[in-house]
Structure 1
Amino acid sequence: MAPGEPGARDIAVLGAGMHPWGKWGRGFVEYGTVAAREALADAGVEWRDVQSVVGADTVRGGYPGYVAGATFAQALGWQGARVTSVYAACASGAQAIATARAQILAGLADVVLVVGADAAPKGFFAPAGGDRPDDPDWLRFRVLGATNPTYFALYARRRMALHGDTPHDFALVKVKNAAAGALNPRARYRKAVTAEEVAGSAVVADPLRLLDICATSDGGAALVLSSMEFARRHGATDPVRIRAVSTVTPTYPKAVLDLPDIATDSAAVVAPAPHTFRASIARAAYEEAGIGPEDLSLAEVYDLSTALELEWYEDLGLCGAGEGAKLVREGITALGGRIPVNTSGGLASFGEAVPAQAIAQVCELTWQLRGTAGGRQVPGARVGITANQGLFGHGSAVVAVR
Structure 2
Amino acid sequence: MTDTNNRDIAVLGAGMHPWGKWGRNFVEYGLVAARAALADAGLNHRDVGYIAGADTIRNGYPGFVSGATFAQALGWSGAQISSSYAACASGAQAIANARAQILAGLCEVALVVGADTTPKGFFQPVGGERRDDPDWLRFHLLGATNPIYFALYARRRMALHGATLDDFAAVKVKNSRHGLNNPNARYRKEVSVEEISASAIVSDPLRLLDICATSDGGAAVVLTSMDYARRHGIADPVRISALSTVTPTFPKTVLDLPDFSTDSAVAVEPPSRTFRSAIAHAAYEEAGLGPEDLSLAEVYDLSTALELDWYEDIGLCETGAAESLLRSGATTLGGRIPVNPSGGLACFGEAIPAQAISQICELTWQLRGRAEGRQVDNARAGIAVNQGLFGHGSAIIATR
User: Does 2:25 match 1:27?
Assistant: yes
* Matching residue within 98, 101, 106 for 1:100: 98
SS in 1 for 2:188: coil
Which residue, 176, 179, 189 being the options, matches 1:178?
A: 176
AA partner of residue 146 (structure 2) = N
Q: Pick one of 308, 315, 318 that aligns with 1:317.
A: 315
2: CA distance, partners of 1:117 / 1:341: 24
Unaligned runs of at least 5 residues, structure 1: none
Tell me how far 1:129 sits from its aligned partner. Answer: 4.3
Q: 1:157 to 1:368 in 2, by over 3 A?
A: same
User: In the superposition, relative to structure 1, how do residues 256 and 310 fare at CA in structure 2: closer, same or farther (>3 Å)?
Assistant: closer
State the Cα distance separating 1:252 from its structure 2 match.
1.7
Aligned residue among 142, 145, 148 for 1:144: 142
Query: Which letter maps to 1:98?
Result: A
Q: In structure 1, what is the equivalent of residue 43 of structure 2?
A: 45
- Cα distance change of structure 1 residues 260 and 61 upon mapping to structure 2, 3 Å threshold: closer
Pick closer, same or farther for the CA change 1:267–1:389 going to 2, 3 Å: closer
**1:356 aligns to what?**
354
Tell me the residue number matched to 1:387.
385
The one of 118, 133, 147 equivalent to 1:120 is: 118
1:231 aligned to which of 229, 232, 242: 229
* Matching residue of 1:221: 219
* Cα distance in structure 1, aligned partners of 2:260 and 2:151: 12
**Tell me, what secondary structure is at the counterpart of 2:13?**
strand
Please say if residues 257 and 391 of structure 1, whose CA atoms lie closer than 8 Å, have aligned partners that are also in contact. no
Deviates more, 1:31-40 or 1:275-284: 275-284
Q: Distance in 2 between matches of 1:213 and 1:244?
A: 29
Q: In structure 2, what is the Cα distance between the partners aligned to 1:9 and 1:112?
A: 15
Identical aligned pairs, as a percentage?
74
Q: CA deviation at 1:145?
A: 1.3
TM-score calculated relative to the size of structure 2: 0.95
**Could you say which residue in structure 1 is the equivalent of 2:395?**
397
Aligned to 2:296, which of 275, 295, 298? 298
Quote the offset at 1:375 in angstroms.
1.1
Flag the 1:241–1:266 CA change in 2: closer, same or farther, 3 A. closer
1:185 maps to amino acid: P
Query: What secondary structure is seen at the aligned counterpart in 2 of 1:375?
Result: coil
For 1:237, the aligned partner's letter is A
Shift of residue 143 of structure 1? 2.2
Which of 159, 179, 190 is residue 157 of structure 2 equivalent to? 159
Cα distance, 1:139 vs structure 2: 3.4
Higher mean alpha-carbon deviation, 167-176 vs 122-131, is at: 122-131
Specify the SS of the correspondent of 1:174.
helix
Stretch of structure 1 that moved more, 190-199 or 356-365 = 190-199
Out of 344, 347, 355, the position equivalent to 2:345 is 347
Q: Is the 8 A contact 1:135 1:392 kept in 2?
A: no
- Give the equivalent residue in structure 2 for 1:337: 335
Partner Cα distance (1:27, 1:306) in 2: 30
Rate the CA distance shift 1:276–1:136 in 2: closer, same or farther, 3 A: farther
Q: 1:162 to 1:34 in 2, by over 3 A?
A: same
Contact 1:250 1:258 in 2 (8 A): no
In the alignment, the residues of structure 2 paired with residue 16 and residue 330 of structure 1 have an alpha-carbon distance, to the nearest angstrom, of 32
Distance 1:95 1:297 in 2: 24
Q: Within 2, Cα distance between the matches of 1:392 and 1:264?
A: 11
**How far off its partner does 1:20 sit?**
0.2
In structure 2, relative to structure 1, the CA distance for the partners of 1:116 and 1:312 (3 Å cut) is same
- Alpha-carbon spacing, 1:12–1:280, altered in 2? closer, same or farther (3 Å): same
Shift of 1:315: 0.2
CA RMSD of aligned residues (A): 2.2
Distance 1:208 1:77 in 2: 45
Q: How many residues align?
A: 397
Q: Residue 36 in 1 paired to residue 31 in 2?
A: no
Shift of 1:137: 4.3
Structure 1 residue 265: Cα displacement = 8.2
Structure 2 residue runs of 5 or longer lacking an equivalent are: none
AA paired with 2:332? Answer: A
Q: 1:84 to 1:256 in 2, by over 3 A?
A: farther
